[in-house]
Amino acid sequence: MTEERHFIVIHMMTSLDGKITGPFFDTEAADKVSQDYEWTNASYKPNAWICGRITFDENFTNYAVPELNPNDTDVPEGDFVVEPNAELYVVAADPSGKLAWQKNTLQYDVRPPAHIIEALTEKATPQYKNYLRKHQISYIVAGKEQLDWKLLVMKLKEKFNINVLAVEGGGIINWSFLNAGIVDELSICLTAAADGSNDTITLFEKSPYFPKGSPVEFELKAVDKIGAGGLWIRYTPKGASKRERPYLGQFDLGKTNDDYAKYFIGQSYLSTLSTQGAAIYNVTFEPGCRNNWHIHHGAPQTLLCTSGFGWYQEEGKKAIPLKPGDVVDIPPEVKHWHGARKDTWFSHISVQPYAQNTSTEWLEPVDTEYYNKIILE
């Protein structure tokens, strides 16, 4: 069943003492990291995000009580799908059906409007389901008394074609997904602040209604510095299925780059975008893929980074991290290499103007031991 699901990442902003809510959010450090939280979230290209009921009540529906018609007892069996092809979805884990939505979309921060999907159990009443139908809100029934997380994510994939799901709190839903063994990556934007609160939620919390679970260990994937002394840390749960994020670039992936495979470590792809005035290609690297050191003779090259995260390095200089929106101008006659990081796909547009007497001189591969070390630099 889990093979029929999408890529799932828990993506959270925390304090140094592991809190995901509380006074630390009022600090200058948290304000800066919250901005990084959104672009790091966008880097996963999730087409759905999910939170627990309390998170939505505290931030959006304000604990309002839905106005239900007690006579609305007749409701069709099964799930209710309103928008099977929305740009973005937001999933509310609401087992009993308590959230008082007033419309079927939710706008959060810089994200586009998201179509609401209610995740219910069989405890949800016919009256509440009819309330959702009245407001044209989709819902999925997954489980009798408690949500069946594996069934839920399978239905989300099947009915809404979700490719990447971001789990974004609170602590109980984070732990529920982790305990169910369906998390592919843990992404933490760690704020250089703490508040010592003993009455706020931590990153993972077990529901008192759930049986005691076993501890979960993680393997470190990558660490990057972000604003105000913060860190963006990515882990893989030990024993996870090694499912990588699907390619979700802005341009056609193209074909395997077979003609140049001998100059690459790992798998790359090439798609010709234009040959009018310049050679313009979309180049995509699978996680860990990079090209050999090389030199462009006779003409410069420009890289426009569009998706994922990568590295660029010139001889004698430190490797530079690359993210979407970065532009790299490479002068002719400069020895360099570029490629993906170990943990993510990476795509860039390559632009090289036509000129006389141009060529590319391919040199030695990037040393694997060195490449693995720069991941944490």
Pairing of strands 89-93, 278-285: unpaired
Q: How confident is the model at residue 18 (pLDDT cuts 50, 70, 90)?
A: very high
Residue 138: how many CB atoms within 10 A of its CB?
22
Write the pLDDT tens digit of every residue in 281-300: 999 999 899 999 999 999 99
State yes or no: pLDDT of 2 exceeds 80: no
Q: How high is the pLDDT of residue 229? A: 94
Q: Which domains does the chain have, with CATH numbers?
A: 2-237 (3.40.430.10), 255-374 (2.60.120.10)
pTM, two decimals, is 0.82
Write the pLDDT tens digit of every residue in 238-265: 988 767 666 667 788 899 999 999 999 9
Residue 126 to residues 52, 74, 104, Cα–Cα distance (Å): 21, 7, 18
Q: How high is the pLDDT of residue 250? A: 79
State yes or no: pLDDT of 217 exceeds 80: yes
Strand arrangement, sheet containing 327-330: 255-256, 268-274, 278-285, 346-353, 301-308, 327-330
Q: How high is the pLDDT of residue 308? A: 86
Best-predicted range by mean pLDDT (138-152, 200-214, 231-245): 138-152
Q: How far apart are CA 349 and CA 283, in angstroms?
A: 6
Q: Determine contact, residues 291/363, Cβ cutoff 8 Å.
A: no
Write the pLDDT tens digit of every residue in 176-193: 999 999 999 999 999 999
